[in-house]
Structure 1
Amino acid sequence: MKKFSLVLFIIVTSLSTSVVARDGAYISASYSMMHQDAIFTSTNDVENGYSVSAGYNFVMGSFFALGAEVEYKDLGSTTENVLSDHFKVSMSSVGINILPKVYLGDNFHLMAKLGFHKIDADLTTTHTTPSASTTTSDTASLLGLGLGYDFTEHFALQTTYEIHNISGYDTASTNVGLKYTF
């Protein structure tokens, strides 16, 4: 029983650190390694993207914070070939995200990312001469999970895995970025 009490005490004290220093406005930027569905074939050439965001963290207890942010994300592009025709799809998104975070000790945190984004897609084809291009828009939900580490009260490193659920087409990204809290 003493060992169980000691283990329980260690867990509770590691989760009970103060996140007051993490309350406030922030900006962040990340590099995104894109994973896009192939539209026509199983092989495609994917270009990576990036994202920038601005938000605010609201502390809600001794180890929980809730972030709200506005994000712009370049979803990269994919190029595919069908016989002698080339199709290139380039996408970007603008949206809002909610980020619940649970701090594990002083510096590490786990987070989820839930968002709603407007997607803009440009399709260029060499099927016709000259090349034809069209633009379309759609909405998508964003789901993600991540891990972060606070180096100081101002600088943090975050990594996430995110999926944009676009009607009939999904993009996924593995992101690594830096966050600065004011």
Structure 2
Amino acid sequence: MSNMATEIVAFILNISGWILVCSTLPTDYWKVSSVDGTVITTATFWSNLWKTCVTDSTGVSNCKDFPSMLALDVYIQVCRGLMIASVCLGFFGATLALIGMKCTRIGGSESTKARLTGLSGLHFILNGLCSLTAYSLYAHRITSEFFDPLFFAQKFELGAALFIGWAGSVLCISGGLIFCLSLSEGSRQV
């Protein structure tokens, strides 16, 4: 019974982490910068993997999608690829977990269900690693430009989406490890 409870906790951690990771894809604030002046000239610049925008002090936003995928910086292309891979891995991991968990009635024999649960754990670990790499690569670019004294363009700071994504990545990795450990614990009891 404790193995079933462990799988349920791991599943909740994985789904929570996957939802957090998925929620950062459309989130606007991956990097943020503001120009403070008088109330009239205050502007906030923000950007994500898909567009860059500016919001003035009246709340009016002007956004511009990135014009061409081939003209993007390499780090944005890599982050996009890693994030899409992460979302797909999380989806397949959740599907395998639902089939392989002991508390579900589908999936076949106990050994087949155990293999599916272990495979879903690996999917979630890879999901977390892909997204963690994407967030860290994006954050590294922001911080290296921010602290570079020879970089004279507008400097940005880390946005809220990165922190939410890091938390989701850690939840996915933790849940995936718990799935894998519950598999090894179940094989010792047999």
Would the TM-score normalized by the shorter structure come out above 0.5? no
Q: Considering fraction of residues, name the structure with more helix.
A: 2
The structure carrying a bigger strand percent of its residues is: 1
Name which structure has the greater RCO, CA cutoff 8 Å, separation 6+.
2
Give the TM-score normalised by structure 1.
0.30
